[in-house]
Structure 1
Amino acid sequence: MVPKSRQESKITMTQIVLPYHANVAGNMHGGEVMKLMDSAAGVVAARHCLQNVVTASVTQLSFIEPIFVGDLVICNAELNYTGRTSMEVHVWVDAEDLTRGLIKHVSEGYFFMVALDRNGRPTEIPPLLIETEEQRNCADAAQRRIALMKQVKHTGPC
């Protein structure tokens, strides 16, 4: 398979936070943020492999700052690593206060996605073309996260 660059699948999605996205305090529900992040990761993964994809796991998901009703949520996602049938997508979220023009970093995480064939079985995907030292560092860090995730899976959480 021909390697593909990060740039070919990278995306930015935006959404205005409406009252039904928020709790009674006016903060966007964490689950709504996660849903947007998962959607962005899925689009990046599907664009890369041109297959159906599913989320296998999420690591290091953090909520850094609250997001409020009326904010513009800016969700960025790009591929860090590909294996034979799986890939890691880094997703980070900023929120813009449209009344003051301030942008803050609010959330980020790593989504491990698996490509599936028509029968729902994992299927081979194109490799990721590593073009810079920064991309190599991201791919190496992804491999360490994946190895740790597999270790925890086999030994248990405690």
Structure 2
Amino acid sequence: MSSSTFKSPEQSRVMLSILMLPSNANFSGKIHGGYVLSLIDQIAFACASKHSGHYCVTASVDVVDFKAPIEVGEMLTLRASVNYVGRSSMVVGIRVDSENIQTGESKHCNSSFLTMVAKDENGNTVKVPGLKITNETHVRRFARAIKRKQIKIKSAKEIAEANFSDTKYLEEFKNYNVQVKL
């Protein structure tokens, strides 16, 4: 492959800043997690489409970690970059920070990883450019994406192979907040 079939994460990086309004708040007065997830999905789409040059769809939301609440009136900034590419898929990492506009105090609110798949006009998957890795941050992000993928595959296999009707689970349930009445 020539170097033109590879793109650096910087070439497809996307950033979005948006003021958090009362209409985005939940019943507790904090910004609704579903609204943040919608923004995450939108920026992942933009980043993956920019990298691939094609329309992209969300294949999976692999990780969503809410770390701090977001307040009405804060400026929310989402940063997305392609961390990993397969043949037609890309893992987009998103970092969400909020800033109190009055005090300048900033906090890390969310980290997410979405797998996006490039599609052509007929809905068929298409090959995406490779990822050009040029620094230690790129290496770390690519390696972590591989590890998360391996763990996901192993976990799915273990769950598929488990016999959840086995009575050993009923014994284990005693350690959990559950009442079993069969």
Normalising by the smaller structure, the TM-score range is over 0.9
Counterpart code for 1:89: V
Which of the numbers 91, 106, 114 marks the counterpart of 1:111? 114
Within-5 A mapping of 1:1-158: 2-156=5-159
Instruction: Report the TM-score when normalising by structure 1.
Output: 0.94
> Helix, strand or coil for the counterpart of 2:125?
coil
1:141 corresponds to which letter in structure 2?
A: R
Can you give the 5+ residue segments of structure 2 that lack an aligned partner in the other structure?
163-182
What are the ranges of 5 or more consecutive residues in structure 1 without an aligned counterpart? none
Between the aligned partners of 1:117 and 1:126, the Cα distance in structure 2 is 14
Q: Is the CA contact 2:118–2:125 (under 8 Å) kept in the aligned structure 1?
A: yes
SS at match of 2:36: helix
TM-score (norm 2): 0.82
Task: State the distance in 2 between where 1:150 and 1:57 align.
Answer: 13
Identity %: 34
Bigger CA radius of gyration: 2
Q: Which has the higher strand share?
A: 1
Contact 2:63 2:114 in 1 (8 A): no
- What is the alpha-carbon root mean square deviation over aligned residues? 1.5
Q: When you count helix as a share of all residues, which structure comes out higher? A: 2
Compare 38-47 and 16-25 and name the one that shifted more: 16-25
Q: CA deviation at 1:50?
A: 0.7
In the alignment of these two chains, the number of paired residues is: 158
